[in-house]
Amino acid sequence: MNRKEFIFQTAVGLAALGVGVSCAKQATQKIPKFGPQTAAPEFGNIRALLLHLGSNMWCDYPTELMGAPAPESAETLDVKPEFSLIWSDEKWREVTDRAAQAGVNMIVIDLGEALFYPSHPELAIEGTWSVEKMQAEIRHLNSQGIEVIPKLNFSTTHNGWMGDYSHMVSSKPYYRMCEDVIRDTVEIFGNPRYFHIGFDEERASFQESEDFQYICVRNGEYWWKDFLHIVNTVEKYGARPWMWSDYGWRNEEFYERCPKSVIQQNWFYDESYGGFDIKTNTTSDAMILQAFYKLDEAGFDQVPCGTNWIGWERSKLCVGADDVIGKLVKFGREEISKEHLMGFMMTTWEIYAWRGISREEHHQKILDGIDLFAEAMK
């Protein structure tokens, strides 16, 4: 059985390929009862790290209808999906151990194709984590004082992990799949307190800039219909939704229409190198800074996100981005109301799969980011 055939197998086929006997079992058995998690940082003291276990959030996806199995069809794409998991167990453990040592008390795992969903075994790739493996990892991280929060990105710019369903957005089959994987994930994670739903960068320009050949963007009431359906589904299964806030940058109605139960994560990386002072920043980034104030005034709870990823202007100026997370933490503590500031999150956007940088460089950037975050949170 070759790699092409793997992509379209049932759970029995997955087991035959060595993805794990546990995967095959869970196609017919219920998810083992699990939880609640034993780590739960207090409101105001969240020190979260975002890690991308899955990497198919920045790609086109070749569906079966393109006339050939996925790996073969993918050769025609500019931004290709991965058909085997990028992370090694050794790299993952080194990163999470460093996080624990640095005082990180929450890890948000961007799952995508990296977790086996019993309701949809067809979404798995080679190396996808079984339910048992994920639950064992959650127990391990909890023992180190780290709460583990799931993230599934439902933005159309970041939904390559959905496979064929990424070409069925807003349809009944798409809704059923979203509901299924949310339910599975909540059960696997032991009824987590929070559930990150993504929803960032849903604009055509983001897909065009990444050379996507299949461009799909929801707008207006279509966006609201799908967004609120995902929010309601997460809440139905007992978790609190958490989202990226950038839809509000260009849509003022967001601050009134978005339910206040949804945790807001505005991300500011000072890419244009204009600084953190709203009075002096005259770059295009100023609207992002303004969003922190609008969210606070509207009564949303926030977890601001920083990075050591280098944006386009910083790269051109050769100034790096090691200063961003420290300045963001200082800004958040001074400008966001204490009753709405839940904590902060660090992400490096290093997912090993990106072109032009070695995996070792990606890995070191993640480790460096953890150290910068620890220093910023002192």
Q: Are 228 and 236 in contact (CB under 8 A)?
A: no
DSSP secondary structure string for all residues of 16-57: HTTS-HHHHHHTTSPPPP----S--PPTT-EEEEEEES--TT
- Measure the CA–CA gap between 1 and 19, rounded to whole angstroms: 13
- Measure the CA–CA gap between 261 and 257, rounded to whole angstroms: 11
**Positive or negative CA dihedral for 297, 43, 185, 265?**
positive
Tell me, rounded to whole angstroms, the distance of Cα 72 from its chain centroid. 27
Q: Are 167 and 212 in contact (CB under 8 A)?
A: no
For the chain, domain boundaries: 3-376
pTM over 0.75: yes
pLDDT digit string (tens) for the chain, length 378 residues: 333 344 334 343 333 333 333 343 444 458 999 989 999 999 999 999 999 999 999 998 887 666 677 888 888 888 889 999 999 999 999 999 999 999 999 999 999 999 999 999 999 999 999 999 999 999 999 999 999 999 999 999 999 999 999 999 999 999 999 999 999 999 999 999 999 999 999 998 888 866 788 899 999 999 999 999 999 999 999 999 999 999 999 999 999 999 999 999 999 999 999 999 999 999 999 999 999 999 999 999 999 999 999 988 999 999 999 999 999 999 999 999 999 999 999 999 877 656 567 888 889 999 999 999 999 999
Q: Are 230 and 250 in contact (CB under 8 A)?
A: no
Q: Where are the beta strands (DSSP E) in the chain?
A: 46-52, 106-110, 147-151, 194-196, 240-244, 263-265, 305-307, 343-347
| CATH 2.60.40.1180 at 3-376, yes or no | no
